Structure 1
Amino acid sequence: MSQITLYLDEATQALVDQAAVASGVSKSRWVAEAIRRYAHDTWPTDVLALAGQFADFPLRPTPPEPTGDDLPRLSF
């Protein structure tokens, strides 16, 4: 198991201490769980459950009508 050193200000350290005690776990386990909860690359299940729940929600805006001729572009 790898180890990591965190430098926390006193207020943040107090929050970690209080949260770990309230959760009934060690500070190390609490921090590891917080990292797993917030550092993953998938959407939370609550967010995924919202997919398709709003029938009138537009998936794409209607593209705007052209307003005129395009301007000449510089060549490279």
Structure 2
Amino acid sequence: MGQVTIYLDDETESRLKASAGSRGVPVSRWIAELVRERTATEWPEEVRRPAGAWPDFPDAEALRGGQGADLRREPF
């Protein structure tokens, strides 16, 4: 397990301790959770859960159905 030293101004330290205290977790755990959250490489469960929740929502093919064919791109 790594150990990190950070320097905070007094106001930020107070806010950190208050927030960790209100959640009932040690400051080190509060910071670790924040780092995990901010460096996550996947969407949070709260975002993924609603995916597919609307069965009547049209799929990509239905949305693009009436647009016609793409135009040919110009060469570089």
- For the criterion TM > 0.5, the same-fold answer is yes
Higher relative CO (Cα under 8 Å, sequence separation at least 6) belongs to: 1
Q: Quick check: which one's helix share is greater?
A: 2
Q: How many angstroms does 1:30 deviate by?
A: 1.0
CA RMSD of aligned residues (A): 3.1
Percent identity, aligned pairs only? 31
Is 2:6 aligned against 1:6?
yes
Q: Please list every run of 5 or more consecutive structure 2 residues that lacks an aligned counterpart in the other structure.
A: none
1:20 corresponds to 2:20? yes
Instruction: Flag structure 1 segments of 5+ consecutive residues without an equivalent.
Output: none
Per-residue deviation at 1:11? 3.1
Equivalent residue, structure 1, for 2:45:
45
Deviations 1:24-48 (A, max 9, x none): 2221111011112232111111211
**How many residue pairs get matched?**
73
For 2:51 and 2:58, locate their aligned partners in 1 and report how far apart those are by CA, in whole Å: 11
- Could you state the TM-score of these two structures normalised by the residue count of structure 1? 0.60
Q: Partner letter of residue 22 of structure 2?
A: A
Higher mean C-alpha displacement, 39-48 vs 4-13: 4-13
Report the Cα offset of residue 49 of structure 1.
1.7
